[in-house]
Amino acid sequence: MLNLPPTPAINGRTAVVPLLAYPSEHVRTPGFFNQYCSEHGINAVMVPWKVSPSGLPAAIEAIRQIESIPGFVITIPHKQEVCRHCDTLEGLAEVMCVCNAVRKNADGTLAGRMYDGRGFVQGLQDRGIPLAGTSVLLAGAGGVATAIAFELAGSQVRRIGIQNRSLDKGRELAEQLSRHFPGLDIELNPQRVEAYDIAVNGTSLGLHPDDPLPFDPSTLRQDTVVAEVVMQPDITPLLQRASENGQRIHKGVHMVTTQIKLLVGFTTGHTG
């Protein structure tokens, strides 16, 4: 159970920042976002919006019309589709066509950015997990996994192994990485996973009770760090299995807590 302070006091000037998700029951970002705003005297509040993929265009059109909304945050499954509704994409979001935060500009246009990769990498570094010169096994090639792959490559990892059910999508990510980081060693669906120092679940597997494991941690070395992006449950089946193997684990929640300041600043204009 999270021990968070109350939601910031709400008045007629409160900025409302929706979190668009489907489903929304698992999200934890609003608690951390609202805690940060409360602690820093920022008159803004985040609320989860349960928006189905078919309802996404209407939700974004409504956001354009509501002046109390300065921006919004996006999570599964909307991080790629939302880019089609942005007027501009900035930074890695432009390269990857994936974003998790959108700001409404003064002229009403929407600008998207991607902070997941930066938050994930910073979370590892804050907990003393070195990246430079390491090899990383990454399960997934979707929006979050792509953002993480780019940030890992920018942090001078030696090798990234992409493990993905869709070979075409995995190959597309490998080609993107090769273009931007020509010196990076990239493997697609590697066979010798015991060669990797860090193994990352960059998929949504683990969010639902019946999900299969994204990979079997018992095939990894005992000193391999096993990391998650799924935040709920706090200890996913993957992390539970890795912990039982004696491997160091890294929770998905760390990806969010390290990027909250960035999300607040980008969506509301307040830096705290």
**Tally of CB atoms within 10 A around 127:** 14
**Phi, psi values for residue 32, rounded to 5°:** -70, -40
* Nearest to 121, CA basis, from 92, 163, 154, 97: 154
**Tally of CB atoms within 10 A around 110:** 20
Query: Which pLDDT score is estimated for 6?
Result: 59
For residue 179, the surrounding DSSP H or E stretch is helix 167-180
Helix (H, G, I), strand (E, B) or coil at 169: helix
Query: Which pLDDT score is estimated for 1?
Result: 46
Query: Which pLDDT score is estimated for 61?
Result: 97
Burial class (CB in 10 A: 0-12, 13-18, 19+), 166: exposed
71 and 79 in contact (C-beta within 8 Å)?
Answer: no
Mean pLDDT, rounded, of the chain: 95
- Which residues of the chain carry a pLDDT beneath 70? 1-8, 272
pLDDT for 89-110, tens place per residue?
Answer: 999 899 888 999 999 999 999 9
Domains and CATH numbers, the chain: 15-115+256-268 (3.40.50.10860), 130-247 (3.40.50.720)
Query: Which pLDDT score is estimated for 111?
Result: 99
Query: Which pLDDT score is estimated for 143?
Result: 86
